[in-house]
Chain A
Amino acid sequence: MTIEQVQEEIVQEFSMFEDWMDKYSYLIELGNDLQELDPKDKNDQNLIKGCQSRVWLVADIEDGKINFRGESDAVIVKGLVALLLRVVSGRTPKELLETDLHFIDDIGLKQHLSPTRSNGLLAMVKQIRLYAVAYSKIEG
């Protein structure tokens, strides 16, 4: 599936929820299901510090594709991280740089990406792009 297809799939999934509580319950479920990071990866280098919640992001490149892993101390943010990882992990830098991440807006959770929320998510999206830029240069 392309990044665009995964985004559409998520939008489809969320369209089934009738009210916000179901939506958030699903995010909590996703957050609880997200594989936890190795404690050694939860270091300051991987930390994206928001003032209300913290997010960790780890990236490795393998066969030209960037594998992202991540976590947050807040479970709803963790659910959003899980969604983001589903979209961006295992992609080439080129794919990542050519795509617009619009699904969070589409599923009505854009408020969690606003700079004033300072939950670390917006910084995580920026960090994903920075990794893509950096690896695209290495990969030439």
Chain B
Amino acid sequence: MNYDIDKIRSWFPVLKNDVYNKPLIYLDSAASAQKPVQVLMKEEELHNQYYGNIHRGAHFMADKATNEYEGVREKIRAFVNAATIREIIFTKGTTESINLVASSFCERYVGAGDEIIVSEMEHHANIVPWQLAAERKGAKIVKLPFNDSGILEIELLVDLINENTKLIAVAHVSNVLGTINPVKEIIDIAHKSNVPVLVDGAQAAPHVKIDVQDIDADFYVFSAHKMYGPNGVGVLFGKEKWLNEMPPYQGGGEMISEVSFEGTTFNELPYKFEAGTPHITGVIAFGAAIDLMNEIGLDNMAAWEHSLLEYATEKLKEIDGLRIYGEAPRKSGVISFNIEGVHSYDLAMLLDKMGIALRTGHLCADTVMAHYNIPGCVRISFGMYNTKAEIDAFIVALNRVRMMF
């Protein structure tokens, strides 16, 4: 495989840093990915050359910024293969994207006694918004369970769906288990009963090729900051049919057509859902991250990261008393584990001192922790810039730390 890792690493200035006088080993890209120079330079270019508020100004700067901003919308459309840019809404992040759907979709379609199916392996961001909406509407959340290997029991879905089911919310890739869920199959089952599906793609978008038309997703959401782009930017893909029928999420500038004290008419898609001045800088710089991912090729990145995942899994399995959570055959990006007799937070504290950045705790997925009856775990995750040498160093550090207990 022709994967120029040295060149890729050179694009990420932060990776050259030392922490506590040790070279940084960043194994927390699933929490947030580092930013390449291409993204940093795009932010600078915007501010130095053509910053202005978009869609509003009658001047060169505003026009140029608007063109750049809308150019990114088209890039995102192509990235997920949506039919039209009207289906691409910019938000603050995955969490806001889900809240938008939970609020506006449920407002329009969910009533007392209705049900929303949520998978057991969801991040809190794909559980709590549905609970809040269900509470407002007198609806109920129904759990789609996973088995101990970390695989969703989708054969149960047919029985869970009934005439009251209004939506299914499921992750494309689990942030704890790494499982790549068969979303196309899930959506196919759901659609047979005319139930729409929201796919949380936050962990998939940096690693897995997304084709919203192929999987026929009704909603697909993700964040720029996990895709080497700036934080504070997210995307909501929604089928035009739904977005047209759903009421606006927030009111303000941009999302209106005409306003009077007697009433307001709303702007067309996608602007209807983009109230206020958006994160102009973030969106425009996000475009540079998308360009970079396209240039390297998502398939190349995925293959590289998969080899890291396999290598690290093999090495971790050699450690006595280590248990990996999530052993689905189709996995991406993350490995979560615990070592018997050692608290995950203790491990992370000591590894941090050795320059290794990783994640511990409940990983914002209490339902997954409850499934395995653990208070938390350690998670390592990979980005395009990680190497086998880093995994080797991590394993050495882990073994050293383990001996301290």
Contacts and interface: CB of A to CB of B under 8 A. Distances in A.
Contacts, number: 45
Nearest to B359: A52
Nearest to A51: B361
A21 B20 CA distance: 12
A28 B353 contact: no
B343 interface: yes
A13 B360 CA distance: 30
A75 B362 CA distance: 17
B349 interface: yes
A54 B376 CA distance: 10
Given A24-B404, A28-B405, A51-B361, A75 B350 contact: no
Q: SS class of chain B's interface: helix, strand, loop or mixed?
A: mixed
A76 B350 CA distance: 9
A75 B343 CA distance: 7
Interface residues of A, number: 17
A75 B20 contact: no
Contacts of A54: 375
Interface string A107-126: 00000100000110000000
Contacts of A24: 349-350, 353, 404
A37 interface: no
Nearest to A20: B353
B148 interface: no
A75 B360 contact: no
15 contacts: A20-B20, A24-B349, A28-B404, A28-B405, A52-B345, A53-B343, A53-B375, A54-B375, A74-B344, A74-B345, A74-B346, A75-B343, A75-B405, A76-B343, A76-B350
Interface of B: 20, 343-346, 348-350, 353, 360-362, 375-376, 404-405
Given A21-B353, A73-B375, A74-B343, 8 more contacts: A24-B350, A52-B344, A53-B376, A74-B344, A74-B346, A75-B343, A76-B343, A119-B345
